[in-house]
Amino acid sequence: MKGAATETPQQADRAVTIFEKSVPGRRAAQLPAAGVEEDTPIAELIPGHLLRETPAELPEVSEPEIVRHYNRISRRNFDLDTGFYPLGSCTMKYNPRVNERVASLPGFAALHPGTSADDAQGALEVMFLLQSSLSEICGLPHVSLQPSAGSQGELTGLLLARAYHADQGRNPGKVLTPDTAHGTNPASVTMAGYEVVKVATDSEGGVDLEDLRSKIDDDVACLMLTNPNTLGVFDRNITEIARLAHECGALLYYDGANLNAVMGQTRPGDMGFDIVHVNLHKSFSQPHGGGGPGAGPIAVSDRVEPYLPRPQVVFEVTEGGLLKFDLDFDRPRSIGRVRGFQGNFGVFVRSLAYILSLGGDGLAEASRLAVLNANYLKKRLSEGRAGRYLPVAFDRHCMHEFVLSGAAMKRELGLRTTDLAKRLLDFGFHPPTVYFPLLVEEALMVEPVETEPKEQLDGFAEAIERILEEAESDPEIARQAPYSTPVRRLDEVAATRKPVIRQQR
């Protein structure tokens, strides 16, 4: 395996951009003729000083070259459909292909967002059904599908909190987030104009109640939590935390990144949360697309409802007893829009298809099996060398993910978590999340999800065992890894120092 001298076939295939493949005069597109007066110079239709003089240097390539180019570089990507992807906090579950098929139906894919409600009844019904389903899953009565991603859902939630407090004649300035929070939480807090105040984690992996009590007061607008949290631990004190927050008038915000662990088992609304965002691309199986698209609907309690973004999907019952759906723009206390049109509708179709496929029992079963897989893999990794060099950070039954600490591995073998991650690539696995949560030294965050078979989990545990065994005799192997990938370790510092972020002309 340690074969730095021999190039893999993928490495021999050097990176060349589509711009570099350009040859003057080549083209792919065949456009229709305008079919109207074509002799008038454009400058007679639009004043010359408003026109472009230098053409954009787009590639000049034929269609077969484009197809070959992108198919070729696609092979330089690791993907969920061909390999195990236990990326903690990211919930990489299988994406059923029927979801793609239904989302591609022309009645959805070719539907213009400016179409009148009368002409978009099916689409509005999709949105309404998804809203109702998410409402039941979250245990909160109202849902807005508008936010484009979890992070936009967070920002939306915080703007809702701002509007809610303003209506009470209050203007609290702080938002509390645990030190284990996702990076988007503090970023969203700042974007919403609030001050971030961190809350410590206790020895059990939950919110430190003493620290919380010392920091919570009536200047707190909101407490942002996820439960289970990013350590994979369910916070047993959630009822007390909710009481403390509500007692001083704060709202409780649930980061739904970890919802996959608890579907049908417990509901954020039942835990006392007022606002929840749901990452449809995580728990409800939208493919991640290499970084999007996704969607981040929010579910809220009654007292937050008036402030939800405009428009909302509503319905009336017609004389014949049928439902007629509409978009309600008349929401005087709404915070307004957080984006254009109706949200990432194509994602809604996929998520609804997933919910219809599984049903209530199936969603609950998905969570049960995600938790079973995580605890099984955690158990496997607590044995042998993994148990010695990579102990679990908070060792109790976990939910859908767990965090290992590579501190001992670093100390005893001289390997950092990133070295282990890079070596895993040579074994054909996508590594777990590294260096998050920040609280755990040399963190490695593993989330196996419910769609992976036991053999896969065993294979992953065995690969880690082998890497650690190998490192006992020669840590340099992992420190120089990977060897088999399209490129070897990349110089990220050089990329930042003198950024080259576009093809030079």
Partner 1 sequence: MGGYTPATPDDQAEMLAAIGVASIEELFEQIPPEVRLDRPLELDPGLSESEVFDQLEYLASQNISTDRVSSFLGAGMYDHYVPAIVDAITSRSEFLTPYTPYQPEVSQGGLQVMFEFQTAMSELTGLPVANAGLYEGPSAAASAAYLAMGATGRSELVVSRGLHPHSRETLATHAAGFGASIIEVGLEDGLTDPDQLLTAVSEQTAAVFLQNPNFLGAVEDITALGEAVKAAGALLVVAVDPMTLGILRPPGECGADIAYGEGQPLGNRLDFGGPSFGFFCAAERFIRKMPGRIAGETTDLDGRRGFVLTLQTREQHIRREKATSNICTAQALNALAAMVHLAWLGKRGFIELGELLVRRTAFARERLRGIDGLELLHDAPVVREFAVRSNRYPVADLLARAGSDLHPGEPGIQVYPLGRDYPEYEDAFLVAITEKRSPIEIEGLAEDLELSLEDLASTRDSGSPSRNGGSR
- If binding is defined by CB under 8 A, does position 8 make contact with partner 1? no
Contacts of 478 (CB under 8 A, 6+ apart): 415, 419, 420, 422, 423, 467, 470, 471
The site map against partner 1 for 454-473 (x = CB under 8 A) is x-------------------
For residue 176, give the 3-state DSSP assignment.
Answer: strand
Q: Which is nearer to partner 1, 187 or 412 (CB)?
A: 187
- If binding is defined by CB under 8 A, does position 107 make contact with partner 1? yes
- If binding is defined by CB under 8 A, does position 294 make contact with partner 1? yes
Q: Which is nearer to partner 1, 43 or 411 (CB)?
A: 43
Query: What is the distance between the alpha carbons of residues 192 and 203, in angstroms, rounded to a whole number?
Result: 31
Count the Cβ atoms, other than its own, within 10 Å of residue 20.
9
- If binding is defined by CB under 8 A, does position 50 make contact with partner 1? yes
Name the minimum Å distance from CB 216 to partner 1: 18
Name the minimum Å distance from CB 201 to partner 1: 16
Cα 420 vs. chain centroid, distance in angstroms? 24
For residue 434, give the 3-state DSSP assignment.
Answer: strand
Say if CB 455 and CB 448 are below 8 A apart. no
The site map against partner 1 for 360-399 (x = CB under 8 A) is xxxxxxx-xx-xxx-xx--xx---------------xx-x
Query: What is the distance between the alpha carbons of residues 5 and 260, in angstroms, rounded to a whole number?
Result: 44
* Residues shown for the chain: 505
- If binding is defined by CB under 8 A, does position 332 make contact with partner 1? no
- If binding is defined by CB under 8 A, does position 196 make contact with partner 1? yes
Q: Which is nearer to partner 1, 412 or 484 (CB)?
A: 484
Q: Which is nearer to partner 1, 408 or 425 (CB)?
A: 425
- Interface residue with partner 1 among 31, 203, 317, 319 (CB under 8 A) is 31
Name the minimum Å distance from CB 200 to partner 1: 16
Strand 402-405 versus strand 443-446 pairing type:
antiparallel
Query: What is the distance between the alpha carbons of residues 340 and 321, in angstroms, rounded to a whole number?
Result: 32
- If binding is defined by CB under 8 A, does position 318 make contact with partner 1? no
- If binding is defined by CB under 8 A, does position 359 make contact with partner 1? yes
- Interface residue with partner 1 among 8, 111, 463, 475 (CB under 8 A) is 111
Name the minimum Å distance from CB 64 to partner 1: 10
Query: What is the distance between the alpha carbons of residues 117 and 124, in angstroms, rounded to a whole number?
Result: 8
- Interface residue with partner 1 among 84, 130, 131, 152 (CB under 8 A) is 152
Tell me, what DSSP letter sits at residue 260?
G
Q: Which is nearer to partner 1, 273 or 389 (CB)?
A: 273
Could you tell me the maximum CA-CA distance found in the chain, to the nearest angstrom?
79
- If binding is defined by CB under 8 A, does position 249 make contact with partner 1? no
- If binding is defined by CB under 8 A, does position 123 make contact with partner 1? yes
The site map against partner 1 for 53-92 (x = CB under 8 A) is x-xxxxxxx-x--xx-xxx-xxxxxxxxxx--x-x--x-x
- Interface residue with partner 1 among 130, 162, 259, 385 (CB under 8 A) is 162
Q: Which is nearer to partner 1, 294 or 385 (CB)?
A: 294
Q: By CB under 8 A, what part of segment 414-443 binds partner 1? A: 421-422, 425, 430-431, 433, 436
- Interface residue with partner 1 among 168, 171, 214, 239 (CB under 8 A) is 239
- If binding is defined by CB under 8 A, does position 42 make contact with partner 1? yes
> Within 13 Å of residue 501, how many CA atoms lie on the same side as its CB?
4
- Interface residue with partner 1 among 167, 218, 270, 302 (CB under 8 A) is 270
Say if CB 341 and CB 152 are below 8 A apart. no
Token pair of 182 as six digits? 């996702």
- If binding is defined by CB under 8 A, does position 292 make contact with partner 1? yes
- Interface residue with partner 1 among 1, 248, 322, 487 (CB under 8 A) is 487
- If binding is defined by CB under 8 A, does position 485 make contact with partner 1? yes
- If binding is defined by CB under 8 A, does position 112 make contact with partner 1? yes
Q: Which is nearer to partner 1, 20 or 319 (CB)?
A: 20
- Interface residue with partner 1 among 143, 216, 259, 263 (CB under 8 A) is 263
Query: What is the distance between the alpha carbons of residues 198 and 200, in angstroms, rounded to a whole number?
Result: 7
Say if CB 422 and CB 478 are below 8 A apart. yes
Q: What angle do CA 133, 136, 138 make, to 5 degrees?
A: 105
Name the minimum Å distance from CB 194 to partner 1: 8
* Backbone Cα Rg of the chain: 26
Contacts of 206 (CB under 8 A, 6+ apart): 229, 233, 235, 236, 237
DSSP string, 443-472: EEEE---TTS-HHHHHHHHHHHHHHHHHHH
Name the minimum Å distance from CB 249 to partner 1: 19
Token pair of 140 as six digits? 């909160």
- If binding is defined by CB under 8 A, does position 94 make contact with partner 1? yes
For residue 326, give the 3-state DSSP assignment.
Answer: strand
User: Is the preceding peptide bond at 311 cis, omega within 30 degrees of 0?
Assistant: yes
Name the minimum Å distance from CB 414 to partner 1: 18
